[in-house]
Amino acid sequence: MNSPSKTPTDRSRLRRMYERGGYDASTIYPILDATPMCTVAYVIDGKPYATPTIQWREGDHVYWHGSSASRMLKKSSGHQVCLTVAITDGFVMARSGMHHSINYRSAMLFGEAHKVEDADEKEAKMKTFVDGLWPGRWDMLRPVTSQELKATCILGMKIDEAASKVRTGPPADDEEDYTLPIWAGVLPVRSEFLAPVADPRNLEGVELPDHLRDFTFG
Amino acid sequence: MNSPSKTPTDRSRLRRMYERGGYDASTIYPILDATPMCTVAYVIDGKPYATPTIQWREGDHVYWHGSSASRMLKKSSGHQVCLTVAITDGFVMARSGMHHSINYRSAMLFGEAHKVEDADEKEAKMKTFVDGLWPGRWDMLRPVTSQELKATCILGMKIDEAASKVRTGPPADDEEDYTLPIWAGVLPVRSEFLAPVADPRNLEGVELPDHLRDFTFG
């Protein structure tokens, strides 16, 4: 992923609808940065597993974390994983059932997961994660303890290979179907953030921090 | 998945935070029915892959589809897959970095994928898929052709095993941290549908169908 023109291998090359595909950092990073939600797929005893989790990117590495006791994290460390991000932008409603589709931005990353072992590095990664979503929040929080760091497993991977797939725009119907009196178009969808809900146990007078005003991803 | 009290196996049992877990149809089906977006994980040559796609449920089976030329569909048919659905409901902001979390509803399904081979059955499945999202739409569309059915691959799987995981509510901080003057709470998030965008090539006078008024999932 260092070179934006890296040639895709057999593993990541999109076989279908290659006109939708992109392999370079300039298309893949913005998709990763547009949502923290992701799915990490891994193999245990030859069988596939996939766990929804949160990712954050630092350069050409991507990270996710959880409890040190997590089976998913223990079993995927040191092994190949596939991390996918998919953002739905709309439902594409065509004149034929078969041309119904989705407008989306997705990225599929391949690499070997490794554990972040060093306590200071773990703390720095957690700060990057929290501040990446809510700038300045980390320093407002109760400092992390060494026990918490031990109980937390952070996995990372260098993005060895990646592919993105994006669809935008109106339906693509068969040319002869455009004469049919059928409503076609796109139903756009997006993530909407509602007003923050304060913890009932917040102390009186504690104000909503700036990083929660007009919050958005990326 | 026939019995709501089916005992989870080693494969699907949640090792962590089991209090968040559920294995029965009454908790898993509503999560599947709440969004069509999913990720299907599969194994090729021992390596994990995961593809974002759309699912729909019929009883204790779940289906997804794509081009007959799709590598993902060809390689996963007849093999074990893991289909996950994850709906993000909010970002949980705690008083410690380590207690930050997500409110979510997720389901992880395990089973063997099989191809729907019969043309009539394929057409019926496609109708269920389209009408499941937009009731009555299928019969408004240009009828499907046998070539389209051949070019479409529908995979299904009996839900052999499944696990759900759900988190709701405010942050769960360490008891002593509730005395700290830190704003904690939840930033709720949801999918918002915007006004439908008509295809510029719609015929004049074609009206927005009822199934697009106040659209929602499930």
Angle at B114 between CA A92 and CA A9, to 5 degrees: 70
Mean pLDDT of A33-59: 96
Contacts of B199 in chain A (CB under 8 A): 170-171, 184-186
Of A97-101, A166-170, A182-186, B214-218, where does mean pLDDT reach its minimum? Answer: B214-218
Domain contains B139: yes
- Is A133 domain-assigned? yes
* Closest CA–CA distance from residue B51 to any residue of chain A (Å): 7
Contact of B13 with chain A, judged by CB distance below 8 Å, is answered with: no
Closest residue, chain B, to A212 (C-alpha) = B187
Residues 97-116 (B) with a CB less than 8 A from some CB of A? 97-98, 100, 102, 104, 106, 108, 110
Whether residue B10 is contained in a domain is answered as no
Question: In this predicted structure, which of B18-32, B91-105, B114-128 has the lowest mean pLDDT?
Answer: B18-32
Note the pLDDT tens digit of each residue in B135-171. Answer: 999 999 999 999 999 999 999 999 989 999 999 999 9
* pLDDT > 80? residue A122: yes
Say if B6 falls within a structural domain: no
Domain that holds residue B48: 18-212
Residue B8 lies in a domain: no
- Alpha-carbon distance values, A137 to B51, B66, B95, B98 (Å): 34, 43, 10, 12
* pLDDT of A218 strictly over 80: no
| Separation CA B85–CA A52 (nearest Å) | 8
Query: Which structure tokens are listed for A185?
Result: 């178009």
Identify the residue with better confidence: A12 or A16: A12
Chain-centroid distance of CA A83 in Å reads 8
Residue B135: how many CB atoms within 10 A of its CB? Answer: 11
Is the pLDDT at A204 greater than 80? The verdict is: yes
Phi-psi region of B4 (alpha: psi -120 to 50; beta: other; left: phi over 0): alpha
pLDDT number for residue A77: 93
Q: Residue A92: give its domain's CATH number.
A: 2.30.110.10
Measured in degrees and rounded to the nearest 5, phi and psi for residue A181 equal -80, 60
Q: Dihedrals φ, ψ of A91, to 5°? A: -105, 125
What does the pLDDT average to over B13-30? 67
Interchain contact, B192 vs A187, CB within 8 Å: no
H helix and E strand count, chain A: 4, 12
Please tell me the distance in Å from A202's CA to the nearest CA on chain B: 6
Cα–Cα distance for residue pair A90/A102, rounded to 1 Å: 6
Interface of A with B in 175-214 (CB under 8 A): 177-203, 205-209, 212
**Number of domains chain A contains:** 1
Q: Is residue B9 situated within a structural domain?
A: no
Helix, strand, or coil (residue A162): strand
Nearest chain A CA: its distance from B63 CA (Å): 15
Q: Quick check: A119 contacting B, CB < 8 Å?
A: no
* pLDDT exceeds cutoff 50 at B5: no
Reported as a pLDDT band with limits 50, 70 and 90, residue A15 is very low
Looking at the domain assignment, is residue A115 inside a domain? yes
Q: What is the pTM of this model?
A: 0.90
Average pLDDT taken over every residue of chain A: 90
pLDDT in tens, A55-92: 999 999 999 999 998 888 998 999 999 999 999 999 99
Residue B124, pLDDT > 90, answer: yes
Task: Nearest chain A residue to B85 by CA: give it.
Answer: A52
Q: Could you tell me the pLDDT band of residue B71, with boundaries at 50, 70 and 90? A: confident
On the question of pLDDT at B189 being above 50, the answer is yes
Q: Do residues A181 and B203 make contact, with C-beta atoms less than 8 angstroms apart?
A: yes
CB contact under 8 A, A182 and B140: yes
